[in-house]
Structure 1
């Protein structure tokens, strides 16, 4: 057990609500990897897979990601039943999508998951570090707005589209106050994440769950790095074409998010210096909001593990104006294309498996023309990704050569 942290009661429902980009993937990957070992320690990790996306989207009223499956009430009830089945054991429920819950939905979530047994944990990072990470995540869901325009909307027109949801999940003082009101400040813990200590978050959860030290280990298979600025700009350009062609959202989910982007994240590592830069004015506004949130959270009387002053950090090494002439590595474009083509192969293999099933009630054969359509569409999307990447590289090269010739 981590020293200095009091374990929560043996029948607690530890509800980790994120929000996004606050270390959620690292925690969820480690918990999912240790699922069977957690059970031996009397801890049930709730949900199927890394995190229960559909059930939480259902109870928060959040729509699915572009092309994703539509959640329903049965999804949420299934998660509630799993929590109930934990009985007197500790239960860990983690999803950043809980942070999207509107105020009127929060009491229902708490009551459904156990009422007085629920202890809410919020993990927070400086808003200046969240901004670029969140923007590139939105682009991975089809956003076509540039970073500077998006920042202008977020700070100066916060209730406009796109992504008016941003402040519900990232107005840090509001989210802590909202959930503390539902469970009581004594049943809420805030963790300002220390980015300089990559194991800090896992050690804290070990302490809260009364686990041996270093019980939770990172799952290296769960790659969730942020995209480089060049990668995001290539994808944003592709998103415009995808929208213009009016293609079904399911194609984006299958071939782009779970195909091209997923492989690019795993198989390619951008060089240092390719990160997304944030204009100084936005970082200054973010630091001020962080300081205000730290003051509000401190006054609420919730449990705090870590230093709230981190919320006002100004990441000066990430300050700057995004380069409109940013280039994209040919290797990154190639990995994106391979990812899309890999998704084509997986889709065709799955369709072929379905078409060979016989003798089962309700089974349907996949029409050859439907399989061919998926194959052609996937390859077209892969080709468009490659074209966008190459076109971007040529445009940058020509501008550079043109400047040298002047």
Structure 2
């Protein structure tokens, strides 16, 4: 019987890397009776499909979905945005895909470190919340947060994909062993089919650049240069104001930063226990949780008028550039 392999992410668990490798190997996969559709894509993943459900435009992909449902072999659909679907969206996705044999693939990453990585990514894209502002609503009620407690969303998928089987992959272990793709292929029963390239995608930028970018996003509200375009322009032209950053702004940020330890918290231990109890999934760390020691700029640095003036100057330069 045909099998649907639904890789739902979530965000910041190596999904883009896996999608790129699957996309680049789609001909080899096809010769092995595995379809990785080259339609409904954004970058390398099937985010177009996930987003069409959110925007009530799934009918735009009627032909593509028909091709998937009629394929004689196994089909892989992959998008982190599947994880972001609400309950109605998951129901619509299930109803559109005519499969009785479904495997739901999800990567488990230490929750508090994943939360930090999510905040980092959102700031890069235009969010202006500080880490404490962003994380507090999750950490205050961790078991009600879908970002910290991924079982909430997994249970919704299993509610509608009633014949579905969940395969959980330890992201932290796969990164440590540099076998993220191999772990994915093994989980879907195709061990050894694809080779690992292990190229890092979406690398973090340093926290001082991130803080400058967060402030630039604040200034960009209501302007034409904002979000992704602002980030690209900042890094493309960073060499122009490198001296201002290195000699004035970054040293000031360094002197007004707070040391934080992320990882190995009661939340990480509690969620690991929950995943073990609900899905018999054991985090492969032998009780040794990864801890990140970071320095995050304190928000009080923005009260310094000299620094605010420097950031305004950088923003004005970026806006005035062609």
Please indicate the TM-score interval, normalised by the length of the shorter structure: 0.7 to 0.9
Matches within 5 A, 1:43-122: 43-46=34-37, 47=39, 48=41, 49-59=43-53, 61=54, 72-77=57-62, 79-85=64-70, 87-122=71-106
Change (3 A) 1:278 1:290: farther
Change (3 A) 1:158 1:219: closer
The aligned residue for residue 267 of structure 2 is 286
The aligned residue for residue 19 of structure 2 is 28
TM-score by length of 1: 0.60
Q: Secondary structure at the match of 1:319?
A: strand
What residue ranges of structure 2 are gaps of 5+ in the alignment? 239-253, 302-313
Match status 1:173 vs 2:151: yes
Larger radius of gyration: 1
In terms of fraction of residues, the more strand-rich structure is 2
Determine if contact 2:138/2:147 at 8 Å carries over to the other structure. Answer: no
The aligned residue for residue 196 of structure 1 is 176
The aligned residue for residue 210 of structure 2 is 232
The aligned residue for residue 140 of structure 1 is 124
The alpha carbon displacement at 1:126 in A equals 0.6
What are the superposed Cα offsets for residues 63-95 of structure 1, whole Å, 9 maximum, x if unpaired?
xxxxxxx7833445455234224x112111000
Change (3 A) 1:58 1:80: same
Query: How many pairs were matched up?
Result: 286
Query: What is the root-mean-square deviation of aligned Cα atoms in Å?
Result: 3.8
Give the distance between the partners of 2:258 and 2:91, measured in 1 at CA.
38
Change (3 A) 1:77 1:319: farther
Determine if contact 1:136/1:232 at 8 Å carries over to the other structure. Answer: yes
Determine if contact 1:14/1:92 at 8 Å carries over to the other structure. Answer: yes
What are the superposed Cα offsets for residues 286-323 of structure 1, whole Å, 9 maximum, x if unpaired?
32442343244336xxxx5xx3355986433x135524
Matches within 5 A, 1:175-324: 175-184=153-162, 187-193=165-171, 194=173, 195-199=175-179, 201-211=180-190, 213=192, 215-218=194-197, 220=199, 223-243=201-221, 246-248=222-224, 251-252=225-226, 255-256=229-230, 260=234, 279-280=260-261, 284-298=265-279, 307-308=282-283, 310=285, 314-316=289-291, 318-319=292-293, 322-324=296-298
Q: Secondary structure at the match of 2:81?
A: helix
Determine if contact 2:182/2:191 at 8 Å carries over to the other structure. Answer: no
Match status 1:383 vs 2:317: yes
Determine if contact 2:142/2:267 at 8 Å carries over to the other structure. Answer: no
The aligned residue for residue 344 of structure 1 is none
TM-score by length of 2: 0.74
What residue ranges of structure 1 are gaps of 5+ in the alignment? 1-8, 62-69, 160-165, 265-273, 328-379, 388-406
